[in-house]
Structure 1
Amino acid sequence: MSTPVVLIHGMWCTGGDWKRVRDLLEPRGYRCHAPTLPAHEPTADQPLRVGDRSLREYRDFLEQYIREQDFRTPPILVGHSMGALLAQQLAARIPVFAAVLLTPAAPWGINAAGLANLAPFARVLGRWGFWNRPYKFSREAAAAYVYNGLSPERQKACYERMVHESGRVAYEIGLWWADWGKTTSVDADAVRCPVYVVSCGADRLTPAFAVRRVAGLYPQATHRHYPDRGHWVIDDEETEEMIHGICGWLRPLEQRAARGQQAPR
């Protein structure tokens, strides 16, 4: 029986952005599910539908989606960027076999702000009412901050797939200290599953210093750092090696579970 994996995408993305990862995981026996978050389907009216969506809506959608699959065994959650923040929130709420956090956005209480990763948001955050408006990076900003490390051709192809994101979610994540509802908070003590965290030295959106603090929330976490990679780890030159390492980490956990033993915490 193949192990269920739920792939949770990040900002400006859809479930289709997981194609490379799916192509690497499925031959290894993992049954991948890559839902597209609410209002992220690439339709003509997508910007109009996404502007005021909340991270809480995304989390609730994913929780319902996972419950509706009625998996025979708890799934592995693999999240990228914002999706890795959602994976943390879900792992604190529902049974999860393991959580893989790829360049995760930081939960409430961790300051991830720096000049490098605030710069691309300046144009967005400077507009009145941005918290209810859709937004999307310019081609130049996306190349510099999201797809840095990819070839110009790959950057162009990725940008053509990029959808708009919710201004409200940008507020909830980027200005967490002003969000009295603590929408991005995670009950780290309730995350009891094994955790694998990936940080990257050239990541200009979720900088390595903040990702190290995310890993520090979980005493059971395994942390892998790539000094030269950027943010777009789900389809770059080292994606295959990364997935190989993740699978190597997962196999002993799965073997122990198959023998009826509890996965290590």
Structure 2
Amino acid sequence: MSHPVVLLHGMWCTGANWARVREILEPRGYACFSPTLPAHEPVPDQPLQVGRCSLRDYLGFAEDAIAAQGYTQRPVLVGHGMGALLAQQLAARVDALALVLLNPAPPAGGAGLRPLRFAAISPWLATGTFWRRPYKPAFERAARILFNGIAADRHRALYETLVHESGRAVSEIALWWADLARAAAIRSDDVRCPVYVVSCGEDRLIPDAVARRVAARYAPVAQRHYPDRGHWVIDDEETEEMMHGICSWLRPIERREEAAARAR
């Protein structure tokens, strides 16, 4: 049996958005856990619930949810977008076997790089009180920034899976320098497991330069760049190939862990 895998979703998503990845991992023996972050369940008052949630709320929830699983093996943490930022923060707190970051939002301190493409969230920024307003991009904008590279006839169905995101959480990522609580901060030296980073040249939410800068924070790190893919790598035409590559990277790490366990 392979190690457990914790899948952390990104902005506007729920745990259900990991369905394609689970379909690939579970037949390989990975027990997948894909929690839905607080106030992200698609209920009628979801926008009201999520509006002022902080990244700190998400992180505390995720840490408690992992602890509640009672794992006897070290988990693999996999995050996408905002979920990849949470995965980095968790890897500094949880004894993880490995960390996989798909188009990761970066920790605070981006060294001059914008952590998000502001054009993707400009309507929300224009509200004036964006830090306490829930936000979900209009369909046309989501099609451009999230689903580019995916067949247009899938866009509407994908859009219907999205929920509103917390204005506070988005501002903690996009405007980290104004967040005195530094909710997006992390001490990279506290992440001691191997790291795998995916970046995409056509990502219109998180620039590939940001994802590469994230990779540069860690060692050992493996990187895979897809010049023609967009942000939605969790369910596009290359998801299966990407996950097979990640599994191939994980296998030697798992074998070393198993050998160490036998030697103890």
- TM-score band by shorter chain is over 0.9
Give the residue type in structure 1 aligned to 2:3: T
Residues 179-237 of structure 1: per-residue CA shift (max 9 Å, x gap): 11111011100000010000000011111111110000002110110010000000001
Count of aligned residue pairs for this structure pair: 261
Give the residue type in structure 2 aligned to 1:30: Y
Structure-2 separation of matches of 1:233 and 1:146: 10
Structure-2 separation of matches of 1:261 and 1:187: 28
Structure-2 separation of matches of 1:182 and 1:156: 35
> What residue in structure 2 maps to residue 91 of structure 1?
91
Residue 2 of structure 1 deviates from its aligned partner by 3.5
Residue 156 of structure 1 deviates from its aligned partner by 1.1
| Range moving further from structure 2, 119-128 or 166-175 | 119-128
Structure 1 SS opposite 2:153: helix
Instruction: Summarize the alignment of residues 1-265 of structure 1 with structure 2, pairs less than 5 Å apart.
Output: 1-110=1-110, 111-113=112-114, 117-260=117-260
Indicate if the aligned counterparts of 1:39 and 1:50 stay in contact, CA closer than 8 A.
yes
Structure-2 separation of matches of 1:22 and 1:13: 15
Residue 261 of structure 1 deviates from its aligned partner by 6.8
Give the residue type in structure 1 aligned to 2:251: R
Q: Which runs of 5+ in 2 are unaligned?
A: none
Indicate if the aligned counterparts of 2:146 and 2:231 stay in contact, CA closer than 8 A.
yes
Structure-2 separation of matches of 1:182 and 1:10: 19
Give the residue type in structure 2 aligned to 1:132: R
Distance 1:112 1:137, change over 3 A: farther
Structure-2 separation of matches of 1:219 and 1:97: 14
Structure 2 SS opposite 1:94: coil
Structure-2 separation of matches of 1:227 and 1:204: 12
Indicate if the aligned counterparts of 1:112 and 1:206 stay in contact, CA closer than 8 A.
no
Residues 43-86 of structure 1: per-residue CA shift (max 9 Å, x gap): 01101100000000000000000111110011000000000000
Structure-1 separation of matches of 2:225 and 2:128: 38
Structure-2 separation of matches of 1:176 and 1:155: 31
Residue 112 of structure 1 deviates from its aligned partner by 4.0
Residue 153 of structure 1 deviates from its aligned partner by 1.5
Residues 13-41 of structure 1: per-residue CA shift (max 9 Å, x gap): 00000000000000011000000000000
Q: Which runs of 5+ in 1 are unaligned?
A: none
Structure-2 separation of matches of 1:94 and 1:256: 19
Give the residue type in structure 1 aligned to 2:21: V
Structure-1 separation of matches of 2:227 and 2:174: 24
| Range moving further from structure 2, 121-130 or 11-20 | 121-130
Indicate if the aligned counterparts of 1:112 and 1:207 stay in contact, CA closer than 8 A.
no
Indicate if the aligned counterparts of 1:53 and 1:168 stay in contact, CA closer than 8 A.
yes
**Among the aligned pairs, what percent are the same residue?**
58
Give the residue type in structure 2 aligned to 1:117: R
Structure 2 SS opposite 1:224: strand
Indicate if the aligned counterparts of 2:92 and 2:191 stay in contact, CA closer than 8 A.
yes
Structure-2 separation of matches of 1:74 and 1:134: 35
Q: For the aligned residues, what is the CA RMSD?
A: 1.4
Q: With structure 1 as the length reference, what TM-score do the two structures score?
A: 0.96
Q: With structure 2 as the length reference, what TM-score do the two structures score?
A: 0.96
| Range moving further from structure 2, 69-78 or 118-127 | 118-127
Indicate if the aligned counterparts of 2:194 and 2:219 stay in contact, CA closer than 8 A.
no
Indicate if the aligned counterparts of 1:55 and 1:172 stay in contact, CA closer than 8 A.
yes
Indicate if the aligned counterparts of 2:201 and 2:227 stay in contact, CA closer than 8 A.
yes
Structure-2 separation of matches of 1:261 and 1:198: 30
Residue 128 of structure 1 deviates from its aligned partner by 2.4
